[in-house]
Chain A
Amino acid sequence: MRLYLSEGSPQGLKVLAAAGASGARVRLERVPPDGHVVPFLTHPRVPALHLDSGTFLFSPNAICQYFFLLAGKEHTDLTSQWLEWEATELQPAVSTALYGHVVQGKKGGEVLGAIRKTLAYIDQSLTSKTTPYLTGEAESVADIVLWATLFPVLQDEFCLPDELQALRSWFRIMNLLEPCRNAVESVLTPKGAEQFKAYLQKQPVSCLHSEKPATNEPEEEELAQRSLSEEEIAAAADAWAKGAAALPERWQPQSPILPVEGRRNVLITSALPYVNNVPHLGNIIGCVLSADVFARYCRLRNWNTLYVCGTDEYGTATETKALEEGLTPQQICDKYNTVHTQIYQWFNISFDYFGRTTTPHQTTIAQEIFHRLLERDVLLTDTVEQLRCERCERFLADRFVEGICPFCNYEEARGDQCDKCGKLINAVELKKPQCKVCKGSPVVKTSQHLFLDLPQLEGRLEQWLEQSWATGDWTANARFITRSWLRDGLKPRCITRDLKWGTPVPLEGFRDKVFYVWFDAPIGYLSITANYTAQWERWWKNPQQVELYNFMAKDNVPFHSVVFPCTLLGAEDNYTLVNHLIATEYLNYEDGKFSKSRGIGVFGDMAQDTGIPADIWRFYLLFLRPEGQDSAFSWHDLLLKNNSELLNNLGNFVNRAGMFVCKFFDGRVPPMELGTDDKRLLAHVTLELRQFNQLLEKVRIRDALRCILSVSRYGNQYIQVNEPWKRIKGPAADRTRAGTVTGVAVNIACLISIMLQPFMPDVSATIQRQLCVPQACNILTDTFLCLLPPGHQIGTVSPLFQKLELDEIEALRQRFGGGQPEDSSLELKTHAAHPSPGARMSPMPGAGSGLARDPQRAKELAEAVTQQGNHVRQLKTSKAEKGQIDAAVATLLELKKQLALAEGKAAEVPAPKGKKKK
């Protein structure tokens, strides 16, 4: 079972201490305080316990009780009474006290004031009994829970007044218990109560029971009609009337694009995809697609923008693949670089330059940085123990070793990082290491290596981070991950490897070695730019003029926020360091939320074969972009979003607006006489547009997409209410009205085509072609302008989207959802550099293998499951006997299990949220 904890949640102490006291074996997962763990809860609740059966426990007290139950300690009337009291009385009081202390800065006695009554009650109960603990001679779950709740306010027994003698001595004993001491060490930092600040600030002061409403669900419901002031309405109408004349001139950067004095110069990178792997949907949304939307948006804002990316090509995985295919590593890279290029082209990724890391520039720049580091004495030499597989006759790269994690005992930890606890690992520290190629046991050999002296650079790093965080937009997970790295203290990091396929180390004694990819790969950003322009230094050694955005999935964060900045800081050459680090969470596939081993997914090249246009893929991936929390790709949801949001909402609106112009006004935008309602609409659309801009400036891509859908919803509503198709047949006044409504609507459609451009470039271009929108209009400002003036001639209007049919989607789901590539080596080749969302989505060997698939039987079973499901529902609606229903449900579950087996999945029991047992 997994226990999800976050820093600064006072409840974490309780569950850890209970786990310790009861000897429960749990796997710890650290998540941000607002981490969404329990799938069915709207508000994040951490700690939470995810049982192997799939059940979630989200109440800390229930989790504690569960641990004690596992140890055979049943709850008694007394323990339940204490726990209930703690939940209903003590916790609210302590929260108030802590809030007063940490957030409002109250001190000493004032703090205790809020809990004086509850403390006295505990003291009285202890005094009236003769036992040292609350419920008897030994500590129970009640003692642990109460202690943990009190600890954040009390810390030690000395702040308790003398008259509470019994409470004092109980608290002292509890503080000394080993599980309590361990819990404190593991959860709390030396900051004391301060660390609860972030958590507490989220609690409303008046009602400390309920939590802040989640912000992740802005959708559903009707459009929240914000009340508009008269000024806002008038301003919107004025702005509108100015028309295209008010547009600034479009910025056309020179080729090559270079920073320009006096302009906003934006440099965008997306994490370099590892060359050996075909990128999958998770990869695409996590890096290149997100960065692409932002780059396109920047260009629409007239910012001077350069977007570079490329394939990361060095490393053992390439060497091995080359051996397998009988090619040279360079040939392998050439081959896969083409695959990547084609996929990104298909997805319409607008790189200004897509390069690669195996170029002479890479060697020059990496070696130069290395020399500077060497001169400045921030490199160390050390002898390293390294795993060598004698059977394969090679030192094993981290990625080629697997074993048991020394920190959390996860059995499939990789050689460089544990997927479970996220800690970085030295391959030699793995318990029971295994060569991933031949399954042999590698032996430890020694070799001389160079290290980047991170401890020496730590001070400079922190100084820079402080400044970057104060001025830049770093996603919460990026800050969180970085902070936890710094908290654990930095250690020297090895930057060389015993390989051949890499950038050679230009130093005597190390000539047979190459740079480790994590030193080398980020330098790729620089060398790729150098391949684009000889004046690359104007981007990369120009922090005064350039704003740097790095896009990546969260597992890449430490290398971009700690290791690479330290490299550049250490080299002291006025490098441009990241200003905005934008990291996504993971995208999962279908219901494989926590079941890594089921991992099946859609890969970039396969997306093309589905017949679904690239823009639909872009839309859906961006719609569920894992911002702030993991999200999951689902075929049925894709169908739903396509048919509801694109077809019925956006497509329908744009099409109707255009059709009215064609049918009723001969393809010319009619004259408009704006009334109050029309102006009000303009103001609402303007508000959405501003919101859109604000969100995108903060790179909240997913939320910004929803603004576009809101604009089109306003448009639909407007047409629906005003019924131009009826008015056009009415008297003159009605016909004028029909003209106004049509004219405003088609201008909204025009605005949508511009706002949509970063997200769906093809659809945007199609709309603009249909409406004959001039290229010069492709600029976004904070005002909604009448860009298609009366008399503007539009072209031929046709539907933008196609309905996706259920059987079509079902067929795709079967195709990608069942057992797919036999090529289990794919996973093996995922590079350490970019395991990213992909590690979760790429096919994993072993999961489904060994389970014979049987399509015919699966079909029969699927039918049986449907039938039995209906039967159960019938029984329930007809209020049948409970026993009867239970029996029917049991049959249903059994059928589902068999179905799963027949489909080649490992039997997964009922809960769809269930996590698969290893």
Chain B
Amino acid sequence: FEASANPAPGEVAGLPILPRSSCLTLSADSESSPSPSPGGGAASPVLQINNGPSLTGLATIATHLVKQAKKEQLLGKTAEEKAVVQQWLEYRVTQIALPCTKEDTRVILKDLNLYLEDKVYLARNNFTLADILMYYGLHHIIIDLTVQEKEKYLNVSRWFNHIQHYPGIRQHLSSIIFMKNRLFTNA
């Protein structure tokens, strides 16, 4: 398969559940799979499957690959969990994909921090694809946070640190350091 014009190459290629099955082969020719999507096509990754239709969109491709790898649990077990996973995948491609202003970033972190207050993962107690894609999407934001901000968004930090140490997740991305002792009492 091929991921063309991918905004964050590791995001799909780096999936820890990469199928190593033979039904997919890499085609290096990016010209051969023109994006069918109008407008923002250039920004959306396209997956060309041998002899099959192509798939467009980060979340769609990631979901497809997870199924191929028979790791359906990553998409959620119950209907509720599945919907939650889809919701955060959509959040990833609509809210985080865009160039964010400082204010947008603040709101994203604040909301996420509140959301994660009582949850281990985005889908509560289970690690899912939502965690993986959100981790990739947020990496460039988290890496720029100050120590104080990391403490302010404590739950996000806790979650992010947890995900980046998950076997096989981090891939080429740098590991971000989180302090264990709190420096700012008011943060």
Q: A910 to B118: give the CA distance in the assembly, Å.
A: 8
Question: In the complex, what residues of A have CB within 8 A of residue B158's CB?
Answer: 876
Is the beta-carbon distance between B36 and A84 smaller than 8 angstroms? no
Pick from A55-63, A451-459, A688-696, A714-722 the stretch touching chain B: A55-63
Is the beta-carbon distance between B82 and A93 smaller than 8 angstroms? no
| B12 lies within 8 A of chain A by Cβ | no
| B63 lies within 8 A of chain A by Cβ | yes
| A460 lies within 8 A of chain B by Cβ | no
| A118 lies within 8 A of chain B by Cβ | yes
Question: In the complex, what residues of A have CB within 8 A of residue B79's CB?
Answer: 66, 69-70
B60's contact among A84, A207, A876, A877, by CB below 8 Å, is which?
A84
| B55 lies within 8 A of chain A by Cβ | yes
| B6 lies within 8 A of chain A by Cβ | no
Q: A85 to B86: give the CA distance in the assembly, Å.
A: 13
Which residues of chain A in 29-71 are interfacial with respect to chain B, using CB atoms and an 8 Å cutoff? 39-43, 51, 53, 55, 57-59, 61-63, 65-66, 69-70
Q: A463 to B179: give the CA distance in the assembly, Å.
A: 64
Is the beta-carbon distance between A87 and B37 smaller than 8 angstroms? no
Is the beta-carbon distance between A912 and B110 smaller than 8 angstroms? no
Pick from A249-257, A415-423, A878-886 the stretch touching chain B: A878-886
Is the beta-carbon distance between A59 and B39 smaller than 8 angstroms? no
Pick from A74-82, A430-438, A493-501, A666-674 the stretch touching chain B: A74-82
Question: In the complex, what residues of A have CB within 8 A of residue B59's CB?
Answer: 80, 84
| B183 lies within 8 A of chain A by Cβ | no
Which residues of chain A in 757-809 are interfacial with respect to chain B, using CB atoms and an 8 Å cutoff? none
Closest A residue to B110 by CB, please name it. Answer: A42
A117's contact among B39, B67, B124, by CB below 8 Å, is which?
B39
| A120 lies within 8 A of chain B by Cβ | yes
Is the beta-carbon distance between A55 and B86 smaller than 8 angstroms? no
B125's contact among A53, A59, A889, by CB below 8 Å, is which?
A889
Is the beta-carbon distance between A89 and B39 smaller than 8 angstroms? yes
**B71-91 to A contact mask, C-beta < 8 Å, 1/0:** 000000001101110110111
Question: In the complex, what residues of B have CB within 8 A of residue A43's CB?
Answer: 107
Is the beta-carbon distance between B95 and A209 smaller than 8 angstroms? yes
Is the beta-carbon distance between A84 and B57 smaller than 8 angstroms? yes
Distance of A97 from chain B, by nearest CB (Å): 13
Question: In the complex, what residues of B have CB within 8 A of residue A121's CB?
Answer: 36-38
| B93 lies within 8 A of chain A by Cβ | yes
A75's contact among B40, B86, B120, by CB below 8 Å, is which?
B86
Q: A87 to B56: give the CA distance in the assembly, Å.
A: 13
Which residues of chain A in 701-723 are interfacial with respect to chain B, using CB atoms and an 8 Å cutoff? none
Which residues of chain A in 866-918 are interfacial with respect to chain B, using CB atoms and an 8 Å cutoff? 876-877, 879, 882, 885-886, 889-890, 910-912
| A210 lies within 8 A of chain B by Cβ | yes
Is the beta-carbon distance between A85 and B118 smaller than 8 angstroms? no
Question: In the complex, what residues of B have CB within 8 A of residue A57's CB?
Answer: 83-84, 87
Given contacts A40-B111, A57-B84, A59-B90, are A85 and B56 in contact (CB under 8 A)? yes
Q: A42 to B59: give the CA distance in the assembly, Å.
A: 24
Question: In the complex, what residues of A have CB within 8 A of residue B117's CB?
Answer: 40, 912
Distance of A615 from chain B, by nearest CB (Å): 27
B56's contact among A61, A66, A81, by CB below 8 Å, is which?
A81
Question: In the complex, what residues of A have CB within 8 A of residue B89's CB?
Answer: 84
Given contacts A42-B110, A213-B103, are A120 and B38 in contact (CB under 8 A)? yes
Given contacts A81-B57, A876-B158, A879-B162, are A87 and B86 in contact (CB under 8 A)? no
Is the beta-carbon distance between A51 and B86 smaller than 8 angstroms? no
Which residues of chain B in 29-48 are interfacial with respect to chain A, using CB atoms and an 8 Å cutoff? 36-40, 44
Is the beta-carbon distance between A87 and B120 smaller than 8 angstroms? no
Q: A417 to B38: give the CA distance in the assembly, Å.
A: 50
**B127-161 to A contact mask, C-beta < 8 Å, 1/0:** 10000000000000000000000000000001000
| B172 lies within 8 A of chain A by Cβ | no
| B114 lies within 8 A of chain A by Cβ | yes
| B174 lies within 8 A of chain A by Cβ | no
Chain B count of residues within 8 A CB distance of the other chain = 49
Given contacts A40-B115, A80-B59, A879-B165, are A69 and B94 in contact (CB under 8 A)? no
Closest A residue to B49 by CB, please name it. Answer: A77
Given contacts A39-B114, A40-B114, are A65 and B180 in contact (CB under 8 A)? no
Main SS of the interface on chain B?
A: helix
Is the beta-carbon distance between B80 and A51 smaller than 8 angstroms? yes
Distance of B134 from chain A, by nearest CB (Å): 14
| A610 lies within 8 A of chain B by Cβ | no
Is the beta-carbon distance between B90 and A209 smaller than 8 angstroms? no
Q: A268 to B153: give the CA distance in the assembly, Å.
A: 45
The CB with the most chain A CB atoms within 10 A, among B40, B91, B94, B124, is that of B94
Chain A count of residues within 8 A CB distance of the other chain = 48
Closest B residue to A84 by CB, please name it. Answer: B57
Q: A186 to B180: give the CA distance in the assembly, Å.
A: 53
Is the beta-carbon distance between A88 and B94 smaller than 8 angstroms? yes
Closest B residue to A93 by CB, please name it. Answer: B39
The CB with the most chain A CB atoms within 10 A, among B36, B83, B87, B165, is that of B83
| B70 lies within 8 A of chain A by Cβ | no
Distance of A752 from chain B, by nearest CB (Å): 24
Question: In the complex, what residues of B have CB within 8 A of residue A117's CB?
Answer: 38-39
Is the beta-carbon distance between B114 and A889 smaller than 8 angstroms? no
Distance of B51 from chain A, by nearest CB (Å): 15
Which residues of chain B in 89-109 are interfacial with respect to chain A, using CB atoms and an 8 Å cutoff? 89-91, 93-95, 97-98, 101, 103-104, 107
Q: A93 to B37: give the CA distance in the assembly, Å.
A: 13
Is the beta-carbon distance between B87 and A58 smaller than 8 angstroms? yes
B57's contact among A61, A75, A85, A890, by CB below 8 Å, is which?
A85
Distance of B73 from chain A, by nearest CB (Å): 12
Distance of A216 from chain B, by nearest CB (Å): 13
Q: A88 to B93: give the CA distance in the assembly, Å.
A: 7
B94's contact among A39, A120, A209, A910, by CB below 8 Å, is which?
A209
Is the beta-carbon distance between B118 and A42 smaller than 8 angstroms? no
Is the beta-carbon distance between A59 and B87 smaller than 8 angstroms? yes
B111's contact among A41, A51, A81, A88, by CB below 8 Å, is which?
A41
Q: A120 to B55: give the CA distance in the assembly, Å.
A: 19
Given contacts A80-B59, A81-B60, are A876 and B83 in contact (CB under 8 A)? no
Question: In the complex, what residues of A have CB within 8 A of residue B111's CB?
Answer: 40-42
B91's contact among A59, A77, A877, by CB below 8 Å, is which?
A59
Closest A residue to B76 by CB, please name it. Answer: A69
| B64 lies within 8 A of chain A by Cβ | yes
Distance of B169 from chain A, by nearest CB (Å): 12
Is the beta-carbon distance between A88 and B83 smaller than 8 angstroms? no
A88's contact among B57, B86, B180, by CB below 8 Å, is which?
B57
**A81-108 to B contact mask, C-beta < 8 Å, 1/0:** 1011101110001000000000000000
Question: In the complex, what residues of B have CB within 8 A of residue A70's CB?
Answer: 79
Is the beta-carbon distance between B107 and A69 smaller than 8 angstroms? no
Question: In the complex, what residues of A have CB within 8 A of residue B180's CB?
Answer: 877
Question: In the complex, what residues of A have CB within 8 A of residue B80's CB?
Answer: 51, 53, 55, 66
Distance of A38 from chain B, by nearest CB (Å): 9
Is the beta-carbon distance between A62 and B83 smaller than 8 angstroms? yes
Question: In the complex, what residues of B have CB within 8 A of residue A911's CB?
Answer: 118
The 3 closest A-B pairs by CB, nearest first: A62-B87, A66-B83, A69-B79
Ordered by A's residue number, 14 sampled pairs between the chains whose C-beta atoms are within 8 Å are A40-B115, A41-B111, A57-B84, A57-B87, A62-B84, A84-B59, A84-B93, A88-B57, A89-B39, A118-B38, A879-B162, A879-B165, A882-B166, A886-B120
Residues in chain B within 8 A of chain A (CB atoms): 36-40, 44, 55-60, 63-64, 67, 79-80, 82-84, 86-87, 89-91, 93-95, 97-98, 101, 103-104, 107, 110-111, 114-115, 117-118, 120, 124-125, 127, 158, 162, 165-166, 180
| Inter-chain pairs besides A77-B67, A213-B103, A912-B117, 15 sampled, C-beta below 8 Å | A42-B110, A59-B86, A62-B83, A69-B83, A80-B59, A80-B63, A80-B86, A84-B93, A88-B40, A88-B57, A118-B38, A209-B95, A877-B180, A879-B162, A890-B125
Residues in chain A within 8 A of chain B (CB atoms): 39-43, 51, 53, 55, 57-59, 61-63, 65-66, 69-70, 75, 77, 80-81, 83-85, 87-89, 93, 117-118, 120-121, 207, 209-210, 213, 876-877, 879, 882, 885-886, 889-890, 910-912
